[in-house]
């Protein structure tokens, strides 16, 4: 492969371009809607030029790194050629959005780096070991596996039609964690702890919970009041949260309900404890 280009110099495009360039891959062109963004993205990337989207579309491998809602329209207006590879980096959108390129004879697919791209330096350090969801016909799949290897990423083949579930499901362990952190920040702010203090205090336990959950599986790793059948602790939590915000208490109930499923699965609790927790979660007076 002689040339790799990016169309869409945003958070993902600029970071992935740097990563591939550092890995010795021929990143030769970057384009964007705003030429200044492309210009900024190529700075420091030797041998890489800021070009128009039409020029970038001529590369052997083109990454379409525009927002998901722009992929189809961008693919529809660019001049593609037979035999080149054209991929998008969306987790949720189907590869069929690249149909105009496929009609021109390009080989189309997806390369989704399963990582957060909001801080380039952090993301560059996080890419090794991260998964890349890949999709495409065998020749392209092989190229994308090669790219993943260069970036020390772990390739995972996505079956056609799976992307919405792959991406939507993954959010629970990805960006939704930020919403969980925010719940903690809101609760602790009520007794005067700053956001910064809360986040710093919770990082070790968040990390420990994730690492233990991954090592043992969510059910076996389960800890906390639901796992012990400590109904009165759950009750105190709910009373305190309800004073703060009904919404937050309801969200706690929903999560406790999901935890109860894990508790049923790991089999540590007696039926009476499970029933008492269920009643409390259902907003009924606990029998324990």
Ligand X SMILES: NC(=O)c1ccc[n+]([C@@H]2O[C@H](COP(=O)([O-])OP(=O)(O)OC[C@H]3O[C@@H](n4cnc5c(N)ncnc54)[C@H](OP(=O)(O)O)[C@@H]3O)[C@@H](O)[C@H]2O)c1
User: Applying CB under 6 A, which residues contact ligand X?
Assistant: 7-13, 32-34, 37, 53, 65-68, 70, 74, 88-91, 112-113, 116-117
Task: Answer for the pair 41, 21: CB distance below 8 angstroms, yes or no.
Answer: no
**What are the residues whose beta carbons fall under 8 Å from the beta carbon of 9, sequence distance 6 or more?**
17, 30, 31, 32, 34, 37, 38, 40, 41, 65
Q: Name the minimum Å distance from CB 68 to ligand X.
A: 5
**What are the residues whose beta carbons fall under 8 Å from the beta carbon of 246, sequence distance 6 or more?**
none
Of 90 and 259, the one with the shorter C-beta distance to ligand X is: 90
DSSP E strands: which ranges in the chain?
4-7, 27-31, 49-50, 61-64, 85-88, 107-113, 131-135, 154-157
Rounded distance, CA 19 to CA 113, Å? 12
Of 95 and 187, the one with the shorter C-beta distance to ligand X is: 95
Task: Answer for the pair 229, 275: CB distance below 8 angstroms, yes or no.
Answer: no
Of 111 and 252, the one with the shorter C-beta distance to ligand X is: 111
Q: Name the minimum Å distance from CB 41 to ligand X.
A: 9
Q: Name the minimum Å distance from CB 206 to ligand X.
A: 19
**Among all residues, whose Cβ is closest to ligand X?**
10
Of 117 and 252, the one with the shorter C-beta distance to ligand X is: 117
Q: Name the minimum Å distance from CB 49 to ligand X.
A: 16
Of 130 and 279, the one with the shorter C-beta distance to ligand X is: 130
Q: Name the minimum Å distance from CB 211 to ligand X.
A: 22
Token reading at 40: 């900024």
End-to-end CA distance of the chain: 67
Q: Name the minimum Å distance from CB 236 to ligand X.
A: 38
Of 83 and 128, the one with the shorter C-beta distance to ligand X is: 128
Of 65 and 198, the one with the shorter C-beta distance to ligand X is: 65
Q: Name the minimum Å distance from CB 99 to ligand X.
A: 16
Token reading at 141: 């799949």
Rounded distance, CA 288 to CA 232, Å? 8
């Amino acid at each position: 492969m002689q040339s790799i280009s990016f169309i869409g110099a945003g958070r993902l495009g600029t970071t992935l371009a740097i990563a591939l360039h550092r890995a010795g891959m021929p990143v030769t062109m970057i384009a964007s809607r705003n030429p200044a963004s492309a210009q900024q993205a190529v700075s420091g990337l030797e041998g890489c030029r800021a070009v128009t989207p039409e020029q970038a579309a001529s590369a052997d491998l083109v990454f379409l790194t525009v927002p998901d809602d722009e992929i189809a329209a961008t693919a529809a207006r660019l001049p593609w050629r037979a035999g080149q590879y054209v991929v998008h980096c969306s987790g949720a959108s189907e590869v069929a959005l690249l149909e105009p390129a496929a009609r021109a004879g390009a080989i189309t697919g997806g390369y989704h780096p399963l990582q957060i791209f909001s801080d380039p330096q952090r993301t560059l350090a996080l890419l090794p070991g991260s998964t890349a969801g890949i999709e495409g016909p065998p020749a392209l799949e092989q190229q994308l596996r090669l790219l993943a290897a260069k970036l020390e990423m772990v390739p995972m083949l996505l079956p056609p039609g799976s992307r919405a579930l792959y991406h939507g499901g993954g959010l629970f362990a990805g960006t939704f964690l930020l919403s969980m952190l925010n719940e903690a920040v809101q609760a602790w702010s009520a007794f005067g702890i700053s956001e910064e203090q809360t986040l710093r205090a919770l990082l070790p336990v968040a990390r420990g919970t994730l690492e233990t959950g991954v090592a043992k599986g969510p059910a076996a790793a389960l800890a906390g009041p639901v796992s012990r059948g400590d109904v009165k602790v759950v009750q105190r939590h709910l009373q305190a949260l309800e004073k703060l915000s009904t919404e937050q208490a309801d969200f706690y109930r929903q999560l406790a309900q999901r935890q109860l499923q894990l508790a049923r699965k790991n089999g540590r609790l007696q039926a009476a404890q499970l029933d008492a927790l269920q009643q409390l979660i259902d907003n009924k007076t606990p029998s324990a």
